[in-house]
Structure 1
Amino acid sequence: MTLSGGGAALAALVAAVPGATAVTLVTVSGEGSEVRCHGREFAGGPETTADTGYELGSVTKTFTALLLAELADRGAVTLDDPLSAHLPGTADCTLHQLATHTAGLPRLPPGLLRSALPQWYRNPYAAFDDDRLLAAPVRPRSPGRVRYSNFGVALLGRALAERTGTPYPELLAELVCAPLGLTATDCAEQAPGRALGHRRGRPLPPWRIPGLPAAGALRSTGRDLLRYLTAHLDPATPALRTVRLPLAWSLRRTTYFHSGGTRGCTAFVGFDPERGTALAALANTGPFLGSRFVQTAYDTLPALTPRRGLVSSRGEDEIS
């Protein structure tokens, strides 16, 4: 595994994200696995390495889906359980619907936007805590249709925590991160070795999302995401196979992918089990209008050399 270096793909990602001081590219292909790094964790700071941490934003949702699948495999829940069975007084949309954004819930919890506006460009979710999440009305509209919802996945994570009596961060650490050997993946807001987030070249404080951790609170490193994606390519547990339904992941042909963004970081993860390839891309600047970082990462994935014996004859469309 390469812990630092260059390469055309990394150079393309760096060019696609002006303002970032740190960029990490993880690849798994027929040529092996690599973690390639560029820049420094912050201006004048340590060089970026495979152990540099980034905010994952909505990539967190794929971890929440794996947590759901693991608890379902253990018999603690079923995918068809209604949310109200675990959070009384909510709604009868199922855990499966929450994980696939088909519950008919809005993108954000009712009431969050008003509290978010004063800190919109820094930490918009910081004032929305767990009590406010549980107090938000759950009113599904047009269930069955795909409607991307941070609110829905946040409720899913809260329901799993309620079912087990363990807070989401600890539950994820026990059932997902520890078994996969993810030693630097967690919801902690502060930790050494983190890339400092930026917006338009200006440094930002760590991302805070106390009421919706299951939707976007995770941090991780290139080294951990390599382990995470490799596990998805070669699923050794029923849970890793269940998430291919798919749960949380977007699926285009045989490519599973998800992007994420906080105010200070951008992330992309994807894997193609047919080709045996996977990719993660991380940068310490938040998404902005016209950014090509996620699209560049997505376009790089099908260009990776397939593992021996795995052949694909398809092309890829652009992300819409």
Structure 2
Amino acid sequence: MSPRGAASTGHEPAPATPAWAADLLDGLREAAPGASAIALGVRRGSEHVVIATGRTAWHGAAPAGPDTRFETGSLTKTFTAVLLAEMAARGEVALDDPIARFLPRGAAPHLPVGRITLLHLATHTSGLPRLPPGFLRRGAPAWFSNPYAGYSPAELRRALARTRPRAAPGTRVHYSNFGVGLLGILLTRAGAHGSAGPDAAGAGPADDGFARLLAGRVLEPLGLTRTDCAADRPQATGYWHRRARPAWRMPALPAAGAVRSSARDLLTTLDALLDPAGPPALPATLRTALAEVATPRLALPRTGRRIGLVWNLRPRPGHDLWHHSGGTRGFTAFAGFSPQTGVALTALANTGPVLTGAFIQRAYLDLRALARDASTA
């Protein structure tokens, strides 16, 4: 497979791919042998490279390119974080709002002590389990294809009321698809109804409500034309052990993992996170949000690591590395950036994550090396 794409300054197409970027792409390809397509976006200061290799499916498909859409899995959560911060900048919500403010009376989980806030959901400190009660039983028949597809918003509403958090809010980091998916529902209600009170009917609109809100507040202003939650738009075919997987669907929890994107769009997003003050055409609330998501909110004991709004932070000598990864049954995704060095990297593969985490680890090490070199240059 040969690289296809663009090497440029400011994303202007250029005829040649730098050798260093081709080497990065080769390393990522070796780390994901089950993928038919790999895409890479890199920023080093003012230099941008967006390239891809392979085809969108193993047989009879078009070549992959910088605009090929991949499922991003939990990278979706980073977009949900921007939406939360944007709505907070508008004054529609506050990070310390209790989730009960946006739920019908009696719908919130029972808590013996404390209360769950939006910030708890965005930092995985809500105490909510990774998945809603009853989800494993419901999704088991489709576990290796699409376990979320048959899980409805009505089932989520019923599960929420009987949820028993595993820890008091704010006391423990416990990664939760349930929590961030719930965050998306609450933001959708706030966006649709203003300050939706506890007597409002229902526990949130369907997944298209979140998709519309995210598009209008975040994706469209950033110019991300290949990024959305639509499962019916053209995208690469996903593979699990070289077996084609159906398009990923999450009707009840879209904010946790339904976004599709391209290497070009993800690099544009990372550009905005590196320089949240511009471009001037962005709404002021979105510029504020981009700065807020990369603000550390809590420190993990004994590790030195921190968490912002969804994003993970690893301090390094002289610079920081913000990063997040994602996966569905047929795709693996990574994105990261270093504000002090002006470095960013995103990598996409159309094969599901493996237990070793080889693709994610390769992408993270590449980001770390680029940031280290930039910081010592």
Q: Which residue of 1 aligns with 2:309?
A: 247
Q: 1:306 Cα shift?
A: 7.3
Q: Distance in 2 between matches of 1:12 and 1:300?
A: 9
Structure 1 position 59, deviation (Å):
0.4
Partner of 2:47: 32
One-letter amino acid matched to 1:14: R
Once the two structures are TM-superposed, the CA of residue 304 in structure 1 deviates from its matched residue by: 1.9
Q: 1:238 to 1:291 in 2, by over 3 A?
A: closer
Structure with bigger gyration radius: 2
Query: Paired residue for 2:282?
Result: none
1:227 to 253, 262, 268: 268
Deviation at 1:288, TM superposition (A): 1.6
2:33 matched to which residue of 1? Answer: 18
- Picking from 56, 60, 80, the partner of 1:64 is 80
The answer to whether structure 1 residue 76 and structure 2 residue 76 are counterparts is no
The answer to whether the 8 Å contact 1:274/1:312 transfers is no
Judged with a 3 Å threshold, the aligned counterparts in structure 2 of structure 1 residues 135 and 312 are, in CA distance, closer, same or farther, namely farther
Indicate if the aligned counterparts of 1:276 and 1:306 stay in contact, CA closer than 8 A.
Answer: no
From 43, 58, 69, give the equivalent of 1:53: 69
SS at match of 1:180: coil
- What is the alpha-carbon distance in structure 1 between the residues aligned to residue 363 and residue 40 of structure 2? 9
Aligned twin of 1:189: 231
Identity %: 51
2:202 aligned residue = none
Contact 2:132/2:156 (CA < 8 Å) preserved in 1?
yes
User: Shift of the alpha carbon at 1:31?
Assistant: 6.1
Cα offset for 1:244? 1.2
CA distance in 2, matches of 1:14, 1:117: 31
1:276 equivalenced with 2:342 (yes/no) = yes
Q: CA deviation at 1:160?
A: 0.5
Supply the distance in 2 between the matched residues of 1:311 and 1:14 (Cα, whole angstroms): 27
Among candidates 128, 139, 143, match of residue 105 of structure 1: 128
Deviations 1:151-175 (A, max 9, x none): 0001100000111227100000000
Answer whether contact 2:149 2:251 (CA < 8 A) is retained: yes
Secondary structure of 1:297 counterpart: helix
AA in 2 matched with 1:205: P
Match of 2:108 among 90, 104, 116: 90
Query: Secondary structure in 2 aligned to 1:293?
Result: helix
Residues 13 and 162 of structure 1, relative CA distance in 2, 3 Å threshold: same
Separation in structure 2 between the aligned mates of residue 87 and residue 154 of structure 1, nearest angstrom: 14
Whether contact under 8 Å (1:257, 1:269) holds in the other structure is yes
Cα drift, residue 218 of structure 1:
0.3
The yes-or-no answer on 1:156 pairing with 2:183 is: yes
Q: Is the 8 A contact 2:338 2:371 kept in 1?
A: no
Instruction: Give the 3-state SS of the residue equivalent to 1:311 in structure 2.
Output: helix
**Other structure's SS at 1:7 match:** helix
**Partner amino acid for 1:64?**
T
Distance across 2 between alignment mates of 1:311 and 1:40: 35
Contact 1:25 1:37 in 2 (8 A): yes
Following TM superposition, by how much is the alpha carbon of 1:62 offset from its aligned partner in structure 2, in angstroms? 0.3
Q: Could you tell me which of 227, 238, 248 is aligned with 2:288? A: 238
**Structure 1 SS opposite 2:294:** coil
Partner of 2:353: 287
Aligned partners of 1:135 and 1:32: how far apart in 2? 50
Q: What SS does structure 2 have at the residue aligned with 1:241?
A: helix
Displacement of 1:204 after TM fit? 1.0
Q: CA 1:83/1:312 → structure 2, altered by over 3 Å: closer, same or farther?
A: farther
Q: Does 1:200 align with 2:241?
A: yes
Equivalent residue pairs, number: 310
Shift of residue 302, structure 1, vs aligned partner: 2.0
CA distance in 2, matches of 1:249, 1:65: 8
CA distance in 1 between counterparts of 2:182 and 2:30 reads: 37
Structure 1, residues 58-99: CA drift from partner, whole Å, max 9, x if none?
Answer: 000000000000000000000000001001331430000000
Structure 2 Cα separation of the partners of residues 244 and 202 of structure 1? 37
Distance 1:99 1:305 in 2: 26
